[in-house]
Amino acid sequence: MRKTTRTIVALFFLCLFVINASSQKKDTNEIKEKILYGKMSGILLQYDPGIDYSSLHEAYRRLYPSLPLVWNEQQEAYGSQMPLFFAQQKPKLFRILVLIAADLYAEQSVRKRIDRYADDIRSSYGSEVILVTVSGGYPKEIKALIQSYYYGGGLDGAIFIGRIVPAWYEVPNDHYWWEGGYGYADWTCDLFYMDLDGQWEDTNFNGIYDSHTSGAGDVGPEIFVGRIDTSTMLGYGEEIELLNRYLDKNHQYWMGNISFTRYGLAYHDHDWRNETTFYFNNFFGSGNYESRKWNSSDNPVTRNDYQNKRLVHPVYEFIETWTHASYIFHDFHTGGRLYHYDIWESQPRALGYNINGCHAFDWAAGGDQRFLGGSYLYNQSVSSLVAVGSTKTGGMLGFDSFYQSLGKNNCIGKALVDWFTERLNSGEEKGYIIGWHYGMMIVGDPLICFQHVPGSDFFPVEIYPPLNVSVKQVENRSLFFREWINVLTWEANSENNDSQVASYRIYVLSEDKLVLLDQVEQNVFSFYHRNVKNQEYWYALSAVNAAGEESRLVYVSIQ
């Protein structure tokens, strides 16, 4: 039940001036492989984009100095208190805090859409949603406000809409001095707002945190945080216009109008070509992703391929990209730099992204005009809604727990919390953990899931897709006749019993839509697509039971 404003005020000041309460350490799953942080940092040290980030960050801090906090909890003047989908189901999330820049919420068009968004959350998750407008604020004040709700009734996550003051962190020599190091580094750090019981200190009193210890609790996150802030992309339009457009397409997701392909792409450039992508099996299922890695012969990873074939492809629901980067470009080994405006104009199609590139989410460096991560989401694409990335030199390593969580249809905010918790308790050298991971954050809606919309009428069919789906092209030729045929083959899934599968359906992607080519009997394990042209073809196959219910789709392609 909602705490009264008087109680929240009391808890706010209690959290601001009193030592944080302690919490139990979090259980973590053992990581599957040893991560060579020293080796990885060595790769980063070989690349220098020639950008003075500290100067850009100082310019941002001068542009937006911290002011005293003014906040106001809003009355819930939207929707019904009853969840639409969770009447007979237990909610996965029960309390969400939405912090909104007060000047934005004063705009009627924005207020209408934020109220609708809050209603979407309540309807899908069955959650209590608390809207609070804020202006100004020092990071410790914003954090104390969040803590007051967390300790005053519990909290799963916080969503920042508009310009909410960032916390900053600094180190004297990033990625360890005895390995060469990067020298001084500072960056915006949303982990500060996620960890509600650890101890953060500014030991030299310059307004930038430089120490993070367990304090009375631990260093791990208690909640997730995501930012929806179009004031970071003013080089592409007015803040309100960009925000309203984003909230409109986000609403389409919650209404079930954005389709799920449950197929991913791992795209690894030259310096990470030897890194495994096996963890993607935890996400959409075994083999239901494409792994593209740089090589010196028939190289499938280039700047132009990524922009013109991958970003715009309708099959990829989630894309993980691992390249060298800066706050304004990807830097591909083959093809060179892909800038923020190239991505903006491409209108990427995937629902979500893991952008593993240094400073790709360094929105402060962009001086409110542009940054690489924002170019993926705030354009006119109808489906790109959320991304994770880093505000500093570093990114994500040890991917397993992140994709395992997404595979359970946890929201991306929860997945980032699960990953952070595992990494922070991994026993790795703290300097490497800070250097690689303390800039990780979410841009866009952190409540997005990738298996199905939370709370929707989704009941997985107990039938499994065919296995070992493959396609090859053959020539059918006679004296007066010649044609090319794409031959698809597959195998029965042993997880299905003999009577479970009645048939198989074969689809082809045509003009961004899957078109049914044929439905064959359960004892048929091949299909001939005749008279094909010299072009790329994408196919999808499913197993079908006697009631006409389909398994998830399995994709395969041929050039």
**Least confident segment among 66-70, 185-189, 241-245, 305-309:** 66-70
Residue with tokens 């990033």: 174
Mean pLDDT of 362-381: 97
CATH fold, domain 467-558, is Immunoglobulin-like (2.60.40)
With 80 as the cut, is the pLDDT of residue 22 above it?
A: no
Q: Where in the chain is the domain with CATH 2.60.40.10?
A: 467-558
Segment 534-550, tens digit of pLDDT: 899 999 999 999 999 99
pLDDT given at position 84: 35
What order of strands is seen across the sheet that includes strand 554-558?
513-521, 503-510, 537-544, 554-558
- Assign 329 to helix, strand or coil: strand
With 90 as the cut, is the pLDDT of residue 292 above it?
A: yes
Q: Where in the chain is the domain with CATH 3.40.50.1460?
A: 259-444
Mean pLDDT of 305-326: 96
Instruction: Give the separation between CA 549 and CA 95, rounded to whole angstroms.
Output: 35
With 80 as the cut, is the pLDDT of residue 87 above it?
A: no
pLDDT given at position 457: 65
With 60 as the cut, is the pLDDT of residue 25 above it?
A: no
With 70 as the cut, is the pLDDT of residue 178 above it?
A: no
Q: Which residue has the higher pLDDT, 82 or 223?
A: 223
pLDDT given at position 246: 98
208, with CB counted inside 10 A (0-12, 13-18, 19+), is middle
Instruction: Give the separation between CA 228 and CA 443, rounded to whole angstroms.
Output: 6
Segment 400-435, tens digit of pLDDT: 999 999 999 999 999 999 999 999 999 888 889 999
With 50 as the cut, is the pLDDT of residue 19 above it?
A: no
Segment 193-215, tens digit of pLDDT: 999 999 999 999 999 999 999 99
Mean pLDDT of 518-536: 95
Query: Two tokens at 32?
Result: 């599957």
Segment 278-290, tens digit of pLDDT: 999 999 987 789 9
What residues contact 475, with CB distance under 8 A and at least 6 apart? 482, 483, 484, 485
**Least confident segment among 42-46, 149-153, 321-325, 386-390:** 42-46
CATH architecture of 259-444: 3-Layer(aba) Sandwich (3.40)
Distances (CA, A) of 527 to 38, 113, 485, 514, 524: 49, 48, 10, 16, 8
With 90 as the cut, is the pLDDT of residue 39 above it?
A: no
Instruction: Give the separation between CA 291 and CA 356, rounded to whole angstroms.
Output: 15
Segment 232-276, tens digit of pLDDT: 999 999 999 999 999 999 999 999 999 899 999 999 999 999 999
